[in-house]
Homo-oligomer: A and B are copies of this chain.
């Protein structure tokens, strides 16, 4: 006998339903964008949903059909948002490309995804002129602007004006319903080695992630918020905020190309932003600007920081000086991206402020929908004692099972369940607070013991004269590897290697203190702001430690 089935309405989870919800129930709630054209643009959810429908019509007119990829090279703005919904909502696949990659990488990715249409902001006209001839699959180029800003002459073939395409459509378009497991968007990971690989999200995974991301112990989004995603829409879909914001009916503020401290501060204040999200480096610029000009935030209440580990000093500055709550989060492109967030439980009420801070500095607890565990090198689960460090694996409905066009499964099987190996090394404590100690390939193996490069970097970053620090392994004749600290000093600061190493005394076990410090003028980063440790290790491969 078959089991009894539920008797509920069968409605597939469709991305289009998010913008329809916002258009119906938050019709006049604003979407404010600083445009690549230089001005401020104001619209609302009702108008945006209509324009997304017009875009769906326009893309069909250009010959797109179910499953076709539409690439974007664009900043955070209302047109990019329309593309998210007009593309995914009409069963096409939105492929956001990171414009900070090298031109040849961009071309490689667009070709790998076989993008049929490529939409791009004014900023990227010179880039597209350069690579258009290499983009073998692209049939139509769409410049995301109005007639007035179209270039008088260009070498880009089949170039369309975005606003013009929309103006030619009626908007009389009914969002289709289809299998919720259909692909909705693709993001490529900017791996530090090998070719980038695509994560293919579905309507189902995107909507489950959207629900989870808005929860009180996640990003805590409501209709009382004004949300400014500093994290770009080409960086794992701005961590899902373009979906979570219409879900809750909040006001959305889009910063466009200008992510410097002054531009951001002015937008935060003029639009009364309450909540933001971004990688640590962007907050550095904002904090510096606000400090240097002795300013305050009048509405900014909390921010989520992820992408790479947030230095504890940054958390303290934002909280103590500016009253901005920092939510430390961790995720991956392969995870849509949210995995964990550091939010306290009732049981932590009694902790003293320092103990609370130490918990909040961890990457935190999983949100429901994600599970995790740590494994030793034989794939045996390790205890959740806050001490044992192991390879972090995760599972859940918004985590990839496969990379785009790769046959080989990236998953590992543990006790009959499939898990995605994150490539991170982490501890988990009895309350489920996870802390990343390293990327598995960045860990420093000294005499058989592991030293966390992140711990060393966090201590160095707490020194007032240090602007940025990276700890890497350096060959050592006796210990196999020993830590070398690579440091960029703050402008005008005085600091010697000896002074900085003394700063580690009492802050970490003696045998973990780096053997040497190398001062440099710049540390190399990937296009998404991560330190390129591979490059650094290569740069210092012949470095002779004083202990060697």
Residues of A within 8 A of B (CB): 1-11, 13, 18, 20-21, 24-29, 65-67, 69, 91, 93, 178-179, 181-184, 199-205, 208, 211-212, 214-217, 220-226, 247-251, 336, 343-347, 365-366, 368, 371, 395-404, 418, 420, 430-432
A205 to B10, CA, bound (A): 9
Of all chain B residues, which has the CB nearest A66?
Answer: B3
A7 & B200 in contact (Cβ 8 Å cutoff): yes
Task: Assess whether B251 is in contact with A346, with CB atoms less than 8 Å apart.
Answer: yes
Complex contacts, A223 vs chain B, CB 8 Å? 217, 343-346, 365
Contacts of A202 in B (CB 8 A): 5-8
**Alpha-carbon distance A13/B402, docked complex (angstroms):** 20
Contact A221 B216 (CB under 8 A): yes
Does A418 lie within 8 Å of B6, measured CB to CB? no
Nearest B-chain residue to A214, judged by Cβ: B215
Q: Which of A225, A397, A402 has the most CB atoms of chain B within a 10 A radius of its CB?
A: A397
A66 contacts across to B, CB distance below 8 A: 1-3
A352 CB, nearest partner CB in chain B, Å? 17
Across-interface contacts of A13 in B (CB, < 8 A):
397
Cα–Cα distance between A393 and B378 once the two chains are bound (Å): 56
The 4 closest A-B pairs by CB, nearest first: A6-B202, A211-B211, A25-B432, A216-B222
Write 20 A-B pairs (CB below 8 A) sorted by A numbering: A1-B67, A5-B179, A5-B200, A6-B184, A6-B202, A8-B398, A8-B401, A9-B397, A9-B420, A10-B401, A26-B345, A27-B432, A214-B215, A217-B249, A223-B343, A224-B346, A225-B346, A248-B368, A249-B345, A250-B346
Contact yes or no, B400 A204, CB < 8 A: no
Please report whether the interface of chain A is mostly helix, strand, loop or mixed according to DSSP: loop
Please indicate the chain B residues that have their CB under 8 angstroms from the CB of A420 in the complex: 9
Pairwise interchain contact B21-A215, C-beta atoms closer than 8 A: no
- Within the assembled complex, what's the spacing in Å between the Cα atoms of A2 and B65? 10
A9 & B400 in contact (Cβ 8 Å cutoff): yes
CA distance A25 to B235 in the complex (A): 28
Contact between chains at A21 and B67 (CB < 8 Å): no
Query: How many chain copies?
Result: 2
Partner of A432, one of B26, B212, B368: B26
Distance from A179 Cβ to chain B, minimum over Cβ atoms (Å)? 8
Identify A2's interface contact among B8, B67, B346, B431, CB under 8 A: B67
Provide the bound-state CA to CA distance between A215 and B214, in Å.
7
How long is the Cα–Cα vector from A211 to B2 in the complex, in angstroms? 28
Nearest chain B CB to A276's CB is how many angstroms away?
A: 15
Closest to A182 in B: B3
Set of chain B residues within 8 Å of A346, measured between Cβ atoms: 29, 223-226, 250-251
A216-B222, A223-B345 given; name 10 further pairs at CB < 8 Å.
Answer: A3-B66, A5-B179, A5-B202, A6-B203, A8-B201, A8-B336, A9-B397, A27-B432, A215-B248, A248-B368
For A395, give the chain B residue with the smallest CB separation. Answer: B9
Complex CA–CA separation, A182 to B7 (angstroms): 9
Contacts of A27 in B (CB 8 A): 430, 432
Q: Which residues of B contact A7 (CB under 8 A)?
A: 183, 199-200, 202, 400-404
| A216 and chain B: residue at smallest CB distance | B222
Most buried by B among A91, A217, A395, A398: A217
Are B8 and A368 touching (Cβ within 8 A)? no
Contacts of A26 in B (CB 8 A): 345, 432
In the complex, are the beta carbons of A4 and B248 less than 8 A apart? no
CB of A59 to closest CB in B, whole Å: 14
With contacts A24-B371, A29-B345, A223-B346 known, is A5 near B248, CB below 8 A?
no
A212 CB → nearest B CB, Å? 7
In the bound complex, CA of A205 to CA of B225 (Å): 28
Q: Contact check, A401 vs B9: say whether CB atoms are below 8 A apart.
A: yes
A89 CB → nearest B CB, Å? 13
| Chain B residues, Cβ within 8 Å of A65 | 1
